[in-house]
A and B are shown apart, each in its own frame.
Chain A
Amino acid sequence: DIQMTQSPSTLSASAGDRVTITCRASQNIGSWLAWYQQKPGKAPKVVIYMASSLESGVPSRFSGSGSGTEFTLTISSLQPEDVATYYCQEYISNTFGQGTKLEI
């Protein structure tokens, strides 16, 4: 299976900050990568798919980039409602990263 290494595991930032989460794949996955946001007690919600496509209804402060083995999720100006755990997922063998807990 493909291994997904996500960093950092915890990220503390202030409202208005630009934050970046990184995901590294153990082999080339092209652009087959999604980012999910999960709030406590809720199902995950996709925010970015195909590495850089913004899901409908997701604020434009979210963006994704990368291809091959290195990917990033960026929130350009952190808002209180963005507090959540974020997961990357490659969808060749469907492995998730271990998650990044984002705090304000």
Chain B
Amino acid sequence: QVQLVQSGAEVKKPGASVKVSCKASGYTFTSYYVHWVRQAPGQGLEWMGIINPSGGSTSYRQKFQGRVTMTRDTSTSTVYMELSSLRSEDTAVYYCARARIAVYSDLQHWGQGTLVTVSS
């Protein structure tokens, strides 16, 4: 079955960077886009961006342009999301999610989430 397993919780200081991993299994890694979505405590869902694991192309929400980098490693079927210049407002649970089909798609499978806490 499709599984997305994310790395563990992180605590970072303001100004630092965090890199969250999402290891995929149970399907052909390069055939489905992967999205990143975050959720601040008690808040709603916020889409951050998308990566095509096949060629590595990415598209980011404008709000995160310049601060977020999404990459993938096809040898390990893992996608990564790195967020830099962290501030307290970046404290959130970060989810990876696999699209059902190609570009315009709902998010059919989700990782368990990774809590990133930004605090001095």
Contacts and interface: CB of A to CB of B under 8 A. Distances in A.
Of the four ranges (under 10, 10 to 19, 20 to 34, 35 or more), the interface on chain A belongs to: 20 to 34
B29 interface: no
Nearest to B96: A43
A96 B111 CA distance: 18
B100 interface: yes
Interface stretch (B13-21, B39-47, B65-73, B80-88): B39-47
A87 to B, nearest CB: 6
A-side interface mostly:
loop
Given A34-B107, A91-B106, A43 B112 contact: yes
Interface in B93-120: 95, 97, 100, 104-108, 110-113
Contacts of B104: 32, 91-92
B72 to A, nearest CB: 19
B117 to A, nearest CB: 16
A78 B107 CA distance: 24
A98 B45 CA distance: 8
A68 to B, nearest CB: 16
Given A34-B107, A95-B47, A96-B45, 11 more contacts: A34-B106, A43-B95, A43-B97, A43-B113, A45-B110, A49-B108, A89-B45, A89-B47, A89-B106, A91-B105, A99-B44
